[in-house]
Amino acid sequence: MEAVLDTARENRTGLAGAFVSVVQRDLLLAVRRRADVLTSFFFFIIVVSLFPLGVGPEPNTLREIAPGVVWVAALLASMLALHRLLAGDYADGTLEQLVLSAQPLTVLVLGKILAHWLVTGIPLVLIAPLLGLQFDLPGDALAVMALGLLLGTPVLSMLGAIGAALTLGVRGAGGLVALLVLPLYIPVLIFGAGAVSAAMSGQSVEGHMSLLAAFLLFSVVVAPWATAAAIRIAME
């Protein structure tokens, strides 16, 4: 696999080459425009920090609401980042070139989603345990939270990509994306937050984690395909 990727990277040909090129390009763009990426990251931190101020600093209450708060904030932050995924490429015509390219759009879209998740999802996974500490969560719950986010945030990026593609160039796309995408996020929220709560009450988290992993596999199969279809509709 590594050898195939290496040759593909050198020649930039074939399916793997196209995939790697898309990922590299989007990562490079993200590095060049760091502020865009950091916005959703700090948004996540600020939203989580608002809750103790609103609810009060009582440790038992905070411990109880922490899983839900962190997950809802992750949902909102990943939704907020969606406009970066396709809108820029749609505006400058890059997306049209991807549609016209000889490689299947589904795979290119998967590359874009992967790059997007690496830039917006991974930081949430890494910072979440620190925020959990502020809510006085025990160690094993923090580990479960990080693992749950690791499985759940790619699902959010995949489902979000469908919403982002459907609202390309549409009036009031920002609010509309929330309306389309947030109801679809609900299962991830339920089992992500449920896993942390289960860990805190000493129950097994295997069921929650298995379902999150199942959502991930299912969305890897379905979401890039639906996103590609939505992009084609927008390009007509």
Partner 1 sequence: MALNLWRFASPQVIYPIAGRMAPMFMAAALALALAGLYIGFFVAPTDFQQGESYRIIFIHVPAAWMSMLIYVVMALWCAVGMIMNTRLSFMMALALAPTGALMTFIALWTGALWGKPTWGTWWVWDARLTSELILLFLYIGFMSLHAAIDDVRRADRAAGLLALVGVVNVPIIYFSVQWWNTLHQGASVSLTRAPSMATTMLTGMLVMALAAWMYSIAVSLIRLRAIILEREADADWVREQIAPALRGAST
Nearer to partner 1, 7 or 203 (CB): 203
Q: Which of 20, 27, 187, 220 is in the footprint of partner 1 by CB under 8 A?
A: 187
Residue 119 lies near partner 1 (rule: CB under 8 A): no
Q: Which of 19, 90, 135, 215 is in the footprint of partner 1 by CB under 8 A?
A: 215
Residue 180 lies near partner 1 (rule: CB under 8 A): yes
Residue 167 lies near partner 1 (rule: CB under 8 A): yes
- As a whole number of angstroms, the distance between CA 75 and CA 61 comes to 22
Residue 71 lies near partner 1 (rule: CB under 8 A): no
CB of 6 to partner 1, least distance (A): 37
CB of 64 to partner 1, least distance (A): 15
Amino acid letter at 226? A
Residue 172 lies near partner 1 (rule: CB under 8 A): yes
Closest CA to 164 of 107, 88, 96: 88
Query: Which residues of the shown chain bind partner 1 in the complex (CB under 8 A)?
Result: 162, 166-167, 170-173, 176, 179-180, 182-184, 186-187, 190-191, 194, 211, 215, 222, 226, 229-230, 233-234, 236
